[in-house]
Every structure is written in structure tokens, then in C-alpha cells.
């Protein structure tokens, strides 16, 4: 069943939740929302908005409905702690405050937003800019919206939770202060030309799904994208097998530095 005046509904949702449905693919999102409206026995979007306004359970259901396919902030906290205490200060010492950092295959934005927060311990937010790419338009739309489940932000340091997240229903909206420091773009690691001049590349728990040949190709391209002394931060399930041949120095289990050519 299709309902009329979706534009008006989007405005109502933004007024109630500060969630901008325009950031989502309309065809897919509208189809899913329509099923939710029908499930609640509403004959129109306006009826559903009235229910959202008056029924906490329905409101929470709707907000949580928008937090699907979420990964995690600060995944493997010990590695983020190491980056915070050791590698970020090193990068700033070597390259200055305006670091070029690329979050490759960023999914729903947990990783690049984690990077902004981690860097904010050392830099003014105005000096932080993260490039975040993913092949999936839908997850990029979710990332731009910046709405996450409680489980997703469980590992975020408490001071950042208080400072940068606002509770919306049973979910959490990340602040515009953090969102504004990330530029999201579509990108295909297997096909597209990589950005260059990076001081750090973060690509975690992604290449595990690729063939060994594809992995090597990606790590080789990452190396070419990094400046000398730049860092590659990978996931806890991954390792760069031929790192010496590819021009890396292994700094620790999941951090690889580009050696000088």
C-alpha cells in the first residue's frame, strides 16, 4: 500500500526526531516505512505521525528501525587506545595538525566518526577532516544521518558519549560538530582510483572478504596512497602478509608504516 505526501511526512519526522529522511534512498526507505505504517494500522502518513507523537512505543520502534546495519564505534578499544596514545601524537609530530586521513570502506560511519573523536583529544575540531568512502550508497546515507544504537556506541569513551551524542528514543544521534568533520563519498576499492597524499588510512575488517590477490592489490594501492611515514590501520582479523615486499614496516599487530622509497 502506497501513501501520499511523503515530503510532508519527512518534514514531520524531522520536526519530531531531527532525523532527515532525505538522506536516505527514497524508494527503499519509503517502501520499508510504508510497511511499518501499515503494520500499525494507519491509513495515512498523517495518522502515523499522530501515533508517533502520542505513543512512546511506536516512536521508539520507528527510531530504532532507522538504525539497522550498524557496525561499532571504537571497535577493538585496545587498538584505539594505542592509536590515541602513540600513533596520533607521532603523526602530528611528523606531519603537523592538518592530517589527511582516509577511512576506506567506512560502512555506516562508526569508524570515521570514531577517528574524529580520537583526534579531538589532540587537535582542535576545526583542524580535523576525514575522507570516508564506501561502495554502498545506503550505508553512506545512514552514516550521514548519524543515528546509532546503544550497542553500537558501547565502546565510545564516556566523556565523548556525554559530549557528542543525544538520545533519541532508544537510539543516539551524533552531534553536527563531529558530522561536519567527515566528507562521505562513494568509492570502490577494487575499481576506483585511490586518493593520494594520505598520512593515515584506516581500513578494518573489510579485505578479509576478498581473495588473496585482491588483498595484495589493495594493500599495494594503499601504500602508494600514503606519504612516506604514513600509517595503515587494519582490523583485528587481518594481517598484511607480504608487508616488506609491499613497502611497509610493521609497527605493531595492526599498524603498518609506509617505508621510505
pLDDT tens, 105-135?
998 999 999 999 999 999 999 999 999 998 8
List the domains of the chain with CATH numbers.
6-65 (no CATH), 77-258 (3.40.50.150)
- Residue 260 is placed in which grid cell? 621510505
Q: pLDDT digit string (tens) for 210-253? A: 778 888 999 999 999 999 999 999 988 888 989 999 999 999 98
86-94: long-range contacts at Cβ-Cβ below 8 A with a sequence spacing of 24 or more?
Answer: 87/200, 87/231, 87/233, 87/251, 87/255, 88/118, 88/119, 88/121, 88/122, 89/122, 91/199, 91/200, 91/230, 91/231, 92/122, 92/123, 94/199, 94/229
Amino acid at each position: 500500500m502506497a501513501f501520499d505526501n511523503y515530503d510532508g511526512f519527512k518534514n514531520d519526522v524531522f520536526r519530531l526526531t531531527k532525523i532527515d529522511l532525505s538522506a536516505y534512498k527514497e524508494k527503499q526507505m519509503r517502501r520499508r516505512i510504508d510497511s511499518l505504517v501499515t503494520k500499525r494500522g494507519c491509513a495515512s502518513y498523517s495518522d502515523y505521525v499522530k501515533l508517533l507523537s502520542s505513543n512512546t512505543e511506536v516512536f521508539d520502534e520507528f527510531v530504532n528501525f532507522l538504525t539497522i546495519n550498524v557496525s561499532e564505534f571504537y571497535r577493538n578499544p585496545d587498538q584505539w587506545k594505542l592509536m590515541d596514545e602513540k600513533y596520533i601524537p607521532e603523526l602530528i609530530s611528523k606531519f603537523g595538525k592538518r592530517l589527511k586521513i582516509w577511512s576506506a570502506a567506512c560502512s555506516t560511519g562508526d569508524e570515521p566518526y570514531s577517528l574524529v573523536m580520537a583526534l579531538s583529544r589532540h587537535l582542535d575540531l576545526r583542524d580535523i577532516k576525514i575522507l570516508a568512502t564506501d561502495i554502498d550508497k545506503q550505508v553512506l546515507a545512514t552514516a550521514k544521518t548519524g543515528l546509532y544504537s546503544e550497542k553500537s556506541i558501547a565502546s565510545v569513551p564516556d566523556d565523548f558519549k556525554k559530549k557528542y551524542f543525544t538520545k533519541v528514543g532508544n537510539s543516539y544521534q551524533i552531534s553536527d560538530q563531529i558530522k561536519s568533520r567527515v566528507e562521505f563519498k562513494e568509492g570502490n576499492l577494487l575499481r576506483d582510483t585511490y586518493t593520494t597524499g594520505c598520512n593515515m588510512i584506516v581500513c578494518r575488517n573489510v579485505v578479509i572478504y576478498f581473495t588473496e590477490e585482491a588483498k595484495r592489490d589493495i594493500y599495494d594501492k594503499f601504500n602508494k596512497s600514503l606519504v612516506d611515514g604514513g600509517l595503515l590501520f587494519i582490523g583485528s582479523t587481518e594481517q598484511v602478509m607480504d608487508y616488506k615486499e609491499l613497502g611497509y614496516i610493521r609497527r605493531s599487530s595492526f599498524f603498518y608504516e609506509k617505508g621510505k622509497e
